[in-house]
Amino acid sequence: VLLALTYRKLVDRDFKVLSVIEREMPRYEYVPVEVIERRLRMPSIHVAMSLQKLNRLKLVKRRIGEYTGYRLTYMGLDMLALHSLVERGILQALGDTLGVGKESDVYSGLTPNGERVIVKFHRAGRTSFHRIVRVRHYAAEKPYSSWLQLAKLAGQREYRALEELYRVGALVPRPLGYSRHAVVTEYIEGVELYMYKEVVDPESMLRDIMDTLRKAYLEVGIVHGDLSEYNILVVLEDDRERPYIIDWPQYVERDHPSAEQLLRRDVEYVARFFRKRYGVAADTRKLIKYVKGE
């Protein structure tokens, strides 16, 4: 709710200031106030008032030193992404948070048509950033802007992968749009496989999962790379349990040097889960061959 409440406090001017800081960040660790003023056609008193407000809302971080400068925070980037999604009619409202992961925050949301969606904000470097800070007591070696850049890349990667996967009929959430590090997909009314009470037909579900991996491999040319019972959502559709595979930003291309190893691991994790929980006798080597179309 914090994101939605903060979003509503912003006016057009604030988004302009945020977006100038975003644009200049790769060039400056902290973008000097003079530069922000020069890039905006508005009275400097307005810029100053907006910066004050953005700083108070923790959307920017101020540094006072030889010069006063600002950089975006992740929440500042969230605001820019939300603004763009709203302007383009992809998103109407942001709801509760569904989960805070290591590398992402996931929220529920609504489209202008009232369709329930999820918004996933990627958060690159959150863990490693803190680790470096703890160890060294001074700023991380990597400039902050490059963490934001990585998060944006993850957003774009995940969106594009989902687009192609969805197009070839793989069981993945339908992608609706993205901006920067934020990806909007349909809300899957399901339960993670590891929490799901009791799969009625585990053999057939394992086959469905392998079919999605096969489509990803043969028709899109990618390997998920982080598959487990945590990234599979089980949905009951017309009395059939269907496994949707989520969380794709770390995928690798089929011809990537690690593709083979990652595919084996993906398949092994899932096969082991079905073996242990449901006693399914699955030959990992055969499954891998099936996925690869051999």
Q: Which residues are catalytic?
A: 226
- Using CB positions, name the residue nearest to Mn ion: 247
Which of 90, 85, 249, 73 is closest to 179 using CA atoms? 85
Rounded Cα–Cα distance for residues 165 and 44 (Å): 48
Q: Over the range 62-100, which residues count as b (16 or more CB within 10 Å of their CB) and which as e?
A: eeeeeeebbbbbbbbbbbbbbbbbbeeebbeebbeeeee
Q: Which residues contact 240 (CB under 8 A, 6 or more apart)?
A: none
User: What are the angstrom distances between the C-alpha of 118 and each of 156, 166, 260?
Assistant: 16, 16, 31
Out of 76, 155, 173, 202, the only residue in the binding site for ligand ADP (CB under 6 A) is 173
User: What are the angstrom distances between the C-alpha of 34 and each of 19, 73, 168?
Assistant: 15, 20, 50
DSSP β-bridge partners for residue 37? none
- Residue 224 CB, shortest distance to ligand ADP, in Å, is 11
163 near ligand ADP, rule: CB under 6 A = no
Site map for ligand ADP, 104-133, x if CB under 6 A?
Answer: x-x-----------x-x-------------
- Residue 113 CB, shortest distance to ligand ADP, in Å, is 17
State the amino acid at position 8 in one-letter form: R
State the amino acid at position 105 in one-letter form: D
Residue 173 contact partner, candidates Mn ion, ligand ADP, none, CB within 5 to 8 A by sort of partner? ligand ADP
- Residue 106 CB, shortest distance to ligand ADP, in Å, is 4
Nearer to Mn ion, 185 or 231 (CB): 231
Q: Are 145 and 26 in contact (CB under 8 A)?
A: yes
Out of 15, 121, 187, 251, the only residue in the binding site for ligand ADP (CB under 6 A) is 187
Nearer to ligand ADP, 104 or 212 (CB): 104
**Segment 193 to 222, residues that bind ligand ADP, using CB under 6 A:** none
Nearer to ligand ADP, 37 or 266 (CB): 266
**Segment 213 to 252, residues that bind Mn ion, using CB under 5 A:** 231, 247
Rounded Cα–Cα distance for residues 17 and 97 (Å): 27
Q: Are 81 and 74 in contact (CB under 8 A)?
A: no
Nearer to ligand ADP, 149 or 185 (CB): 185
Q: Is 282 helix (H, G, I), strand (E, B) or coil?
A: coil
Residue 50 contact partner, candidates Mn ion, ligand ADP, none, CB within 5 to 8 A by sort of partner? none
Nearer to ligand ADP, 74 or 187 (CB): 187
Out of 35, 98, 110, 235, the only residue in the binding site for ligand ADP (CB under 6 A) is 98
**Site residues for ligand ADP per CB under 6 A:** 98-99, 101, 103-104, 106, 118, 120, 173, 185, 187-188, 192, 231, 233, 246-247
Q: Which residues are at the interface with Mn ion (CB under 5 A)?
A: 231, 247
